[in-house]
Amino acid sequence: MTQNHIATVQPLPSSILHNSAEVRRQYTRAAAKQAVQFISRKVRVFNRRTAEMTQDMTQIQGGH
């Protein structure tokens, strides 16, 4: 009973597999892009909540 292990969804050409620096660069670029998207999403949510809170505060204080 043999199992086929597929390392990647898209099989890479052997030239790229042997060029570890290029693979590392691609993974790093992808990870950095994901991190930036994640952080910007968090900041957007935080800003939205802050804006809602400031509106609530002005209404509580009898906003002008």
pTM above 0.85, yes or no: no
Task: Identify residue 19 by its one-letter amino acid code.
Answer: N
Give the gyration radius of the chain's Cα atoms.
24
Kindly report, residue by residue over 4-63, the tens digit of the pLDDT: 555 555 665 666 556 678 778 888 999 999 999 999 999 999 999 988 888 877 777 765
For the chain, the structural domain boundaries read 24-63
Give the integer Cα–Cα distance in Å for 26 and 13: 14
| Separation of alpha carbons 54 and 2, rounded Å | 62
pLDDT tens string 4-13: 555 555 665 6
